[in-house]
Copies of this chain bind each other. A is one copy, B any other.
């Protein structure tokens, strides 16, 4: 079954034309007789011909490979990942979408070197969660490789090719929901890194609490060892003279830290403290009580970013930037029991 795969010459011979004609027919280049073209296409199909990528690349410069550049992940001791689950769901979606469109998806380490990135010969890239003046973004620019981003580079307002979560709408609906549930003092736990996502959420939070005339407290959380930092931050907030009655924990693992800090103080979620997570996950849904969460929609973000990149590669001007919905799923952790049943 490992018969050597057919080349363009085999197709040419079988169809009784030259390799030039085969190439033209298959790539829709030049003028070619309609009948000839369909015959060539049929022959190629019959023989199971698929162009050799290396050869095509060598001659034409295209590799049909794109890269996904995730932020630090994997074996990093201090993992700033907002949500590993979200990243993998995103990667899965992009992998499938890319392959469907005849692109292969390369997984590139976060600290890739310039040479390494150049060597792999990618046609384009998707940068996930760039920090301010992200090194990966600069590398891609130097190498002249087209790219789109999931969340923008907050230090580079000149780059429009990104998809972003709608933090404004998300914060508005979350604050509104919390107010409905009786919250007066709301605390936002936000990752202390240069992510545009975090910056957006922060601003949106401030605006929303102001609109609703609530007291808003922003607490930046270091991202070395997610759980403990969030736990510490929550502990501090809960021990304050006037403690918050609601906490929005932007990163998935933050929410768990908050829950632990609350439970150790005999504070009950949701009766004494309303809790909302900024990242939905299988764990948020399965926790006790189930944690209300904003849905980052990694599949949709991945799809949009891929689409944007492929437009770029096709020489088109994509619609950009794009905003993705960031909806709130209300669960038990933010429903006061006296109102229970209202969901």
Point out residues on A near B: beta carbons under 8 Å. Answer: 1-2, 5, 48, 50, 52-55, 57-58, 63, 65, 68, 70, 73-76, 84-85, 87-93, 95-96, 99, 104-109, 112, 115-116, 118-121, 142-144, 226-227, 231, 253, 256-257, 259-260, 263, 281-283, 285-288, 299
Contact = CB atoms under 8 A, between A and B. Distances in A.
7 contacts: A2-B143, A5-B118, A54-B121, A73-B88, A74-B88, A75-B299, A231-B286
Nearest to A59: B54
A183 to B, nearest CB: 22
Given A74-B91, A75-B89, 8 more contacts: A2-B142, A2-B143, A48-B115, A54-B63, A73-B92, A84-B85, A84-B89, A253-B286
B2 A68 contact: no
Contact of A54 (B58, B89, B107, B144): B58
A53 B227 contact: no
B253 A115 contact: no
Contact of A108 (B89, B99, B120): B99
Contacts of A120: 53, 104
Q: State the main secondary structure of chain A at its contact with B.
A: helix
Contacts of A58: 52, 54-55, 58
Contacts of A95: 74, 107-109
A183 B121 CA distance: 57
A47 to B, nearest CB: 12
Nearest to A117: B99
Given A88-B87, A120-B104, A287 B256 contact: yes
The 5 nearest A-B residue pairs measured at CB: A74-B92, A256-B286, A54-B57, A227-B286, A283-B283
